[in-house]
Amino acid sequence: MVQIRILAEMHYIQGNLPDVQYYLVELSSALLLVSRFGNITFDDDGNSIFYTFKFEVSELDVIRGKLKKEMKTMGDSSIFLGRNWATCIDSCKFKGIKPNHIYFTDDGFEYDRDVEGGGVGRDMGAYNLEDEEIESFYSGQSTSLICPPAWVIPSLIM
């Protein structure tokens, strides 16, 4: 028999709020809740475009069912987020990976399906958790009709 358990209660005021997506990721035996905040805008042709503008990372206290204080640093760790997927890595072990960053791909697949010639894949980049700045990886028009981008993580098992 499956038993459902609430990990933590979250209270947000309903109203004109941005779209929020949630991810669970492990960092040094701690369970983190990563909240991704985005908005929908429209291009000149009236097509909807989803864009991410902020992330929040909090440690989840599963025993008490509460979120701990928001984190502003992950040390040398970096988080990679994708469609229904999240992982944390030690950035000092990989060349070119910036510490204390959240690397993200486009999760707004449902927003871009009707864009002529594609549209999926525009909302991706690296978010600096400390200064809250986003470095965009892709600013042009995507030509993908159906396939959102994905991170490729090689197996480290020999």
Nearest to 127 by CA among 87, 79, 82: 79
Q: What is the mean pLDDT of the chain?
A: 77
Cα distance between residue 140 and residue 43, in whole Å: 13
Residues 6+ apart with CB under 8 A from 29: none
> What does the pLDDT look like over 97-109, one tens digit per residue?
999 999 988 775 5
Instruction: Give the CA distances from residue 98 to residues 33, 79, 120, in Å, rounded to whole numbers and listed in that order.
Output: 20, 10, 25
> What does the pLDDT look like over 6-35, one tens digit per residue?
666 665 555 556 688 889 999 988 999 999
Q: What tokens does 134 get?
A: 């986003």
Residue 112 has pLDDT above 50, yes or no: no
| Amino acid at residue number 142 | S
Question: Whole-model pTM?
Answer: 0.76
How confident is the model at residue 64, as a pLDDT?
85
How confident is the model at residue 155, as a pLDDT?
55
Indicate the Cα dihedral angle 94, 95, 96, 99, nearest 10°: 50
